[in-house]
Amino acid sequence: MSDDGQHGITLIAFVGSVFSPYYAWARQRGRMNPDNHCALNVALYSKGKGRWAMTERGHRHSARSAQAFIIGPSQLAWDGDCLTIDINEVCVPLPRRIRGRIKLWPQQLCAFSTRLDAFGRHRWGPLAPASRIEVELSSPDLKWQGHAYLDSNEGDEPIDQGFHTWDWSRARMRDGSTLVFYDMQAPHTQDRVLSLRFTPKGKVETIDTPPVQRLPKTGWRIDRRMRSEQPVQVQEQLEDTPFYQRALLQFDHAGEPLLAFHETLSVPRLVSPVVQAMLPWRMPRRA
């Protein structure tokens, strides 16, 4: 998010895209090569310049090493100090281009990682909970600086085998700490919640889990919730899809008013045949 609060961006680099219908169909045929299903998802949030792109690339168009990850005409590179993302993507169904460079400087690298399920088949950990970001795009014409968050997810099985629904949020606190709630739910099971504070010095603190605050359903009628002692307000709806939503929320924690990036994923919606048939219209593939 930009320092002035007027712009935002979300980037997700996928190896074996969990949202890919092509990967799901390949697994049904017994062809489980995650490197054949790579993608860079780019979502821009800016008045009049908002854009979204996610084109899947086959193994002929992608390559990765310890320092770089090439996904078609886009790539990510790490030099030990800065993560540089060169973007050259095309949106669908309206063919508008997203082109430019993003630079991210971690303020503190974090070695924390934790399992998300009982068997440890799905794992998550912030690599740099607090970072500085510089956005310089030529298409659309955007330049800004702000604060950012960088994390990593990995799994040894398809997402629908480990999850049902989750609500996730991250917020930047006044002292530079990052507050994260990872709230996972499934029918007939106890909720699993990670309530964590990542300090500017790299310390990971477990905090008390606040009670559930119900949020209004999305336009696609997705149930969602947030952890907070006080009622939560939706400041801006960023994404609203049949299986996923992303929003900016206003809430209080320990007496401090905060702004959170919040997302909800409904796995049953994601894997439904109707949604799987719809996804190629938003996620084309280049084999």
Residue 51 lies in a domain: yes
Q: How far apart are CA 59 and CA 262, in angstroms?
A: 32
Residue 46 lies in a domain: yes
Residue 189, classified by CB atoms within 10 Å of its CB into exposed (0-12), middle (13-18) or buried (19+), is exposed
**How many structural domains is the chain composed of?**
1
Residue 176 lies in a domain: yes
Residue 2 lies in a domain: no
Phi, psi of 154, deg, nearest 5: -150, 150
Residue 266 lies in a domain: yes
Q: How far apart are CA 57 and CA 81, in angstroms?
A: 28
What is the per-residue pLDDT across 152-172, written as a single tens digit (0 to 9) for each? 999 999 999 999 999 999 999
Residue 176 has pLDDT above 90, yes or no: yes
Q: How far apart are CA 153 and CA 13, in angstroms?
A: 10
What is the per-residue pLDDT across 60-102, written as a single tens digit (0 to 9) for each? 999 999 999 999 999 999 999 999 999 999 999 899 999 999 9
Residue 1 lies in a domain: no
Residue 61 lies in a domain: yes
pTM value?
A: 0.95
What is the per-residue pLDDT across 105-161, written as a single tens digit (0 to 9) for each? 999 999 999 999 989 999 999 999 999 999 999 999 999 999 999 999 999 999 999
Give me the amino acid identity at 92: V
Residue 70 lies in a domain: yes
Domain extent at residue 28: 7-286
Indicate the average pLDDT of the chain.
Answer: 96
